[in-house]
Amino acid sequence: MEDKCTLNSAPSEDDPACTSLEEDGCGNPSLSSVPTIFESGYFSGVPHASADQDIFSSLDLVNSKQTPQSPGISQPLKGLQISPSPTSLVHHKEETSQFSHRDKDGDTQLHNAIWQNKPQTADYVIKRTPTCDKEWLNSPNLHLQTPLHAATLKRMVDITALLIEKGANICQCDIHGETPLHIASREGFEDIVEIILRTANRQSILECIETRNYNGQNCLHLAAFNLRFEIVRLLVSNGADVNATDGMYNKTILHYAVDKHSSDLLHCVLRLENVCLTVTSYAGETALQLAEQNRYDEMTKALREYDISFI
């Protein structure tokens, strides 16, 4: 007996043999039939769209270049390919848009969670960041402070570690030309310095250590100038040049020790490896000459003894 309908012909309204997809699987679904396409017949194995989904997948099915035919009796359901719904991508975009909303200071929701000392909120926002949108973690406010700068300033160790693990850039500078490592070194946040040095990749660490802020000082200069002895040792052990000069006076941290008349800093520096006493400032002075001019007898003696021991 000849079939009254085929896969290549649309069913007739007067044709009783082709009134239902469920009976023999013929007919091409039209846009108006999309909402009921999953209700019966060979499509009944496909789950209904949930309440928070739209009909993106159905539209993909109808508007594709080659509209899929009904699988019929002989065609297995697993052969039917339906385009995945972009609903999840829409949700990610909406969520990222919500999290990246800025206030008058340019702070995002993540910035504010950190400023307000809400680690659980900050943790949630960081973990909900789409994997394809890492740059959002480095979004700066009007002071060019990223969430990592904020976490460093608030001394939130766990959030700092999580941000770095999720891809935050430790080398990004704020309005003063300072990275989070600069801030932690100046403020004496030893735990933050340790987290950055332990968690970040080696290349980024070296870049941060060498970066000068807009006053010409690197992390080591800031740590020494503020008498952060343990951080001085940490930075040098992780690649900081003990003889590096600043950009303003061309002074080393040995010069800083004499300038501040700090015997503790002087002895801390002299215990480090490869300290050079011949580096001169823009004024042409070594640390020893500076100590002699200021008549710092104890410092002069310590520097001379150190110099003699390396002759």
In a domain, 9, yes or no: no
Quick one: 93 and 158 in the same domain?
yes
Residue 219 near residue 208, CB atoms below 8 Å: yes
Quick one: 40 and 24 in the same domain?
yes
Tens digit of each residue's pLDDT (9 = 90 or more) over 275-293: 999 999 999 999 999 999 9
d(CA 285, CA 77): 85
pLDDT at residue 157 greater than cutoff 70: yes
Quick one: 201 and 226 in the same domain?
yes
Q: Which of 196, 219, 245 is the last residue of a domain?
A: 245
Q: Give the residue ranges of DSSP H helices in the chain.
A: 21-24, 56-63, 87-99, 109-115, 119-127, 147-153, 157-165, 180-187, 190-199, 202-210, 219-225, 229-237, 253-259, 263-270, 287-293, 297-309
Half-sphere exposure at residue 22, Cβ-oriented, CA atoms within 13 angstroms: 8
Tens digit of each residue's pLDDT (9 = 90 or more) over 232-244: 999 999 999 999 9
Q: Which of 203, 223, 245 is the last residue of a domain?
A: 245
pLDDT at residue 127 greater than cutoff 70: yes
pLDDT at residue 4 greater than cutoff 60: no
Please give the residue that has the higher pLDDT: either 100 or 129.
129
Quick one: 100 and 227 in the same domain?
yes
What one-character DSSP code corresponds to residue 211?
Answer: -
In a domain, 32, yes or no: yes
Structurally, the chain folds into a number of domains equal to 3
CB count in 10 Å sphere of residue 66: 5
Task: Provide the pLDDT for residue 246.
Answer: 97
Quick one: 53 and 131 in the same domain?
no
Which residues lie closer than 8 Å to 229 by C-beta, 6 or more apart? Answer: 264, 265, 268
In a domain, 4, yes or no: no
In a domain, 2, yes or no: no
In a domain, 80, yes or no: no
Quick one: 201 and 98 in the same domain?
yes
pLDDT at residue 181 greater than cutoff 70: yes
Quick one: 201 and 94 in the same domain?
yes
Question: Which of left, alpha, beta for 282 (phi over 0: left; psi -120 to 50: alpha)?
Answer: alpha
Please give the residue that has the higher pLDDT: either 247 or 46.
247
In a domain, 82, yes or no: no
| Placement of tokens 């710092």 in the chain | 296
Task: Provide the pLDDT for residue 295.
Answer: 96
Region 155-182: what's the mean pLDDT?
96
d(CA 102, CA 108): 5
Quick one: 53 and 197 in the same domain?
no
Give the confidence band of 102 by pLDDT, cuts at 50, 70, 90: confident
Task: Provide the pLDDT for residue 309.
Answer: 63
Give the confidence band of 133 by pLDDT, cuts at 50, 70, 90: low
Quick one: 197 and 207 in the same domain?
yes
Q: Which of 225, 245, 265 is the last residue of a domain?
A: 245
pLDDT at residue 11 greater than cutoff 60: no
Residue 98 near residue 133, CB atoms below 8 Å: no
What is the CATH number for 266? 1.25.40.20
Query: Could you tell me the two tokens for 113?
Result: 């969670």
Quick one: 238 and 300 in the same domain?
no
Give the confidence band of 101 by pLDDT, cuts at 50, 70, 90: confident
d(CA 48, CA 57): 11
Give the confidence band of 47 by pLDDT, cuts at 50, 70, 90: very low
In a domain, 305, yes or no: yes
Domain of residue 24, residue span:
16-75
Region 13-30: what's the mean pLDDT?
44
CB count in 10 Å sphere of residue 36: 11
d(CA 191, CA 130): 28
Quick one: 224 and 138 in the same domain?
yes
In a domain, 5, yes or no: no
Give the confidence band of 308 by pLDDT, cuts at 50, 70, 90: confident
Give the confidence band of 216 by pLDDT, cuts at 50, 70, 90: very high
Quick one: 29 and 71 in the same domain?
yes
Cα angle for residues 141, 144, 150 (degrees, 5° grid): 70
Please give the mean pLDDT across all residues of the chain: 77
d(CA 152, CA 196): 10
Tens digit of each residue's pLDDT (9 = 90 or more) over 103-122: 788 889 999 999 999 999 99
Task: Provide the pLDDT for residue 99.
Answer: 57
Give the confidence band of 97 by pLDDT, cuts at 50, 70, 90: low
